[in-house]
Amino acid sequence: MVTKAFGALVILDGIAAVVLWKLFERGTNGLLLVAYLIVLAPIVLTSAAFPFLRSDGMRIAALMVLLIPSVPLLFSSVAASVRAVQDQRQFSGSAYFPGPALDLAQAMVKHDVGLVQQLIPAAGKLHQPHNGGTTLWQFAVLQADNTEESIDLPRRLLAAGADPKRDTSADTLLHATAMGPELTRFLLAAGANPNVLDEEHRPLWWRSMAPDGDEKAPELLALMLDHGADLTWRVPDGPGPVGHAAAMGYWFVACLLIERGADWKHEKLPEGTLPDLLTCWRVRLFAGRSIRFRFQKS
């Protein structure tokens, strides 16, 4: 009985180990791989020693020892498999859409523009929330990158009546800024709102503030400012955009915002008020020039 239980557990461990290894092949954290090998080592050693144990007591002890690494191995494999299935369903759209809407989503995943155009009429309202609140418009944007070919997918939906102004999620524009300026420019021109709040309850356009040296950031910030970024928005009992940029050390961004008309006279930093700091500090602008700002207090 003990031998059968031990053998069954070893088989389950082997299956779990293969499943995890296949998932590791898709890419994983190096520390997880080390933990995997550490858990696997006692299983291999115990399995190799078990045939040489003669007494039932020793075999029961070996079974107990085997259970110690087997439990986390089996749990991890099941959890990782469930997560992989969920990720695949989300990637394919089956986690969100049924019927004709799913057919359209899967055509988007394949980047088949012709099939997308063909399936749009039967898919229903393109801005209607489905499972998880996801719309076909949002799904199309998330399939796009910074190339004109991929942007053609959401462009087809836009021409068919999708309304970016009804998209209250920050995910689409956040994805666009991560991809690059071309997709961001398309979304903003289509009506996406740069002032939608992110998970930190700050306008999404604040994320385009970045330190000098980030090649994409200046263009992304200019796009946000050109398409209605709200320069008057302030954190409750906290800074506005200029104060946030200055607190992060993004002085060239702070200067640009001031040039665009953002309030700066009421901003405070631990080192002092912003007007005082700007009176004596030399700040680098986008063009690489260094000039001294002298603001007269009012």
pLDDT at 155: 94
pLDDT at 214: 66
Q: Give helix 251-259 / helix 217-226 axis angle, nearest 10°.
A: 20
Which uninterrupted H or E stretch holds 291? strand 290-292
Q: Give helix 217-226 / helix 181-190 axis angle, nearest 10°.
A: 10
Q: Exposure of 162 by Cβ count < 10 A (0-12 exposed, 13-18 middle, 19+ buried)?
A: buried
- The tally of CA atoms less than 13 A away on the side-chain side of residue 295 is 18
The predicted model scores a pTM of 0.72
The answer on pLDDT for 145 being more than 70 is yes
For 233, the token pair is 């928005």
Average pLDDT for residues 20-26, to the nearest whole number? 70
Q: Which backbone phi and psi does 214 adopt, to 5 degrees?
A: -80, 110
Residue whose C-alpha is closest to residue 128's, from 106, 98, 171, 87 = 98
Neighbours of 195 (CB within 10 A): 15
Q: Which backbone phi and psi does 55 adopt, to 5 degrees?
A: -90, 150
Which uninterrupted H or E stretch holds 283? strand 282-284
- The type of residue at 46 is T
The SS3 of residue 203 is: strand
- Residues 52-99: pLDDT tens digits? 888 888 888 888 888 888 888 888 888 888 888 887 888 889 999 999
Using the 8-state DSSP alphabet, how is residue 292 labeled?
E
> What value does the mean pLDDT of the chain take?
84
- Residues 96-142: pLDDT tens digits? 999 999 999 999 999 999 999 999 999 999 989 999 899 999 999 99
Please tell me the distance from the alpha carbon of residue 101 to that of residue 173, in angstroms, as a whole number: 22
